[in-house]
Amino acid sequence: MGQWKKRIAVLGVAGALAISSLTGCSGSMKNDDVVATVGDSEIPLGIANFYARMTQAQYESYYAGMMGTTGEEMWSKEAEEGKTYEQTVKATLIQSLENLYLLEQHAADYDVELTDEEKKQIEKTAKTFDDDNTLEDKEAVSGYEKYVKRYLELVTIQKKMEGPMKAGVNEEVSDEEAAQKSMQYVYFPYTATDDSGSSVKLTDDEKSAVKEKAQTFADALKSKTAEIDSAAAEAGVEVKTATFDGDSTAPDADLVSAVDALAAEGDTTDVVETDSGLYVGKLTSLLDREATDKEKTAIVKKRQQEQYDSLVKQWRKETDISVNKKVWKKVSFEKLGVTVKEGANEYEDSSADKAE
Nearest to 43 by CA among 352, 328, 332: 328
Q: Specify the pTM.
A: 0.81
Q: Name the average pLDDT for the chain.
A: 86
190 within 8 A of 183, measured Cβ to Cβ = no
Enumerate residues 6+ apart whose C-beta is below 8 A from 111.
164
Angle among Cα 283, 190, 199 to the nearest 5 degrees reads 120
CATH 1.10.4030 domain span(s) along the chain: 2-169+303-353
pLDDT tens across 78-106, in order? Answer: 888 889 999 999 999 999 999 999 999 99
pLDDT score of 310: 98
| Residue 349, pLDDT above cutoff 50 | no
DSSP 26: G
Strand partners for 273:
278
Architecture of the domain spanning 2-169+303-353: Orthogonal Bundle (1.10)
Cis bond leading into 44, ω under 30°?
Answer: no
CATH 3.10.50 domain residues, the chain: 181-286
Distance CA 56, CA 331 (A): 11
Cα separation of 130 and 146, whole Å? 9
Query: Regarding the domain delimited by 181-286, which CATH topology (the fold level of the hierarchy) does it fall under?
Result: Chitinase A; domain 3 (3.10.50)
pLDDT tens per residue across span 304-343: 999 999 999 999 999 999 999 999 999 988 878 776 554 3
